[in-house]
Amino acid sequence: MRNRSAPAALSLAAAALLAAVPVPAAAATASAPESAEASESASALDAASSRRDGCPQLSKRLKWHGHNRAGLQRTIDERGLCGDHGRGGHRARPVAAFDWDNTVTKNDTTDVTLAWALKHDKILQPRSWRDTSRWLSPAAGRALTEACGRSVPVGRPLPTSTDTGCTDEIFEIRTEAQTMDGHPAFGGEWNHRRTVPEYAWVAQLFAGHTPDQVKAYAEAGRKQSLAAPVGSETKVGTHTVPAYVRYYPQQKDLISTLKRAGFDVYIVSAGVEYAAEAWSKGVGIDAEHTIAIRSVLRDGRITTATEGCGGEPASRGGTIPYIDGKRCWINQDIYGIEGRAAWERQDRGHRIALGAGDADTDVTFVRDATSAHLVLNRNKDEVMCRAYDDEDGRWLVNPMFIEPLPQKPEPYPCATAAYIEENGALSAVRRYDGGVVPDQRDSVFG
């Protein structure tokens, strides 16, 4: 089960990673207050979301695509207090798991947190940029060193609020996995179904800070982005990015209804856990039900090491909640399955009832769901191939609720190049029986 503290005894490899952690220069800012939107009482929806027989029902005032509301309601009725769970058909509460960024919210809250940190000089000078990630390329190390300089002492804040070159290199590597001059930012080998270096790197950039400091940065970015108008943009260095984030009302209502129906609801994100916790409370999910990239702590401070899953040791980002890693953390943290078995698909009694996501990083855990697979369409190949193939008849595809994408003009390459192999190669998407999923045309869009 979950263990938020640093492991009592680190492996030698993990312990070696701790030596390069910088010392923070200043205390965190105070946590941003809860926004009006995030703290909105659910009571207004509650009155509209219960049937006369007392069974929780999704609000009919919120628009869903096609028959998706009915499909979700079927899952709530079948598996919740008015169904199997209420009749004692399942000893344990049914579980629903949601990805976070662009599934529960519109826009990426990890990027919002990093952008706020960069604009407020919260990234600390490392001893060596190559120490921050085991896969950071020599080209990226040189680019960061040249852009950010060596004049700032190790452990002191970099002046990223005014140093556009430094900010640009950091943000380009995070968002595009390349340097500003186009060189690959990461190199070497990693399991492409268990991690992606640029995701893990955000957590590693906060080395030297305390979890509460990172939560405070996330809170400040949260307050600012919830107040920004829908469609607004901002600059991070010379990068133009969305300035706003919104909680999707439909997802807030779905989560609330699931909880009233007796479901245990979790967030499973490939973002930074401390930032995800600051955001997830806005939909009534507490820290114990928020799973994301979990840093190893030393003396209460974040290091460049991240916790492992499924028997894997702590490492510099080798195992995070990403594609198959999300399944692993669900199996390990929710169902208590330890060791290598946590990487495997479990029996029906040890799988989630409902899974929701928007991207290939979510495809494994969403597919594992036994009653409903909810996908918001962001044109990501592997997950959309699964969703449109609808292998078990319980996949629900919905356009994004805010600024949905138009129809993807060409079919998804399901039969040839949509499945992400462990080595990063692309191949055919296959069903459980081994059959190849044919190419799929985009049919649910804005």
Taking the CA atoms of 298, 301, 306 and 308 in sequence, report the sign of the dihedral they define. positive
- At residue 84 the predicted structure's pLDDT band, cuts being 50, 70 and 90, is confident
pLDDT over 80 (residue 37): no
pLDDT over 60 (residue 18): no
Write the CB contacts of 204 (distance below 8 Å, at least 6 apart in sequence).
Answer: 132, 133, 295, 304, 306, 316, 317
Span 54-71, pLDDT tens digits: 789 999 999 999 999 999
139 vs 157: CA distance, rounded Å: 23
Indicate the domain borders of the chain: 70-77+91-105+246-400, 109-242
Where helices occur in 28-128 by DSSP H, the ranges are: 43-48, 68-79, 109-119
Kindly report whether the global pTM for this prediction surpasses the value 0.75: yes
Span 114-140, pLDDT tens digits: 999 999 999 999 999 999 999 999 999
402 vs 240: CA distance, rounded Å: 19
What CATH number has the domain spanning 70-77+91-105+246-400?
3.40.50.1000
Q: Poorest-confidence range of 23-27, 168-172, 220-224, 342-346?
A: 23-27
| Contact (CB, 8 A) for 217 and 117 | yes
User: When comparing pLDDT for 4 and 433, which is higher?
Assistant: 433
Span 205-231, pLDDT tens digits: 999 999 999 999 999 999 999 999 999
CA end-to-end span of the chain: 40
H or E stretch at 218: helix 211-227
pLDDT over 70 (residue 17): no
Residue identified by tokens 């953390």 is: 329
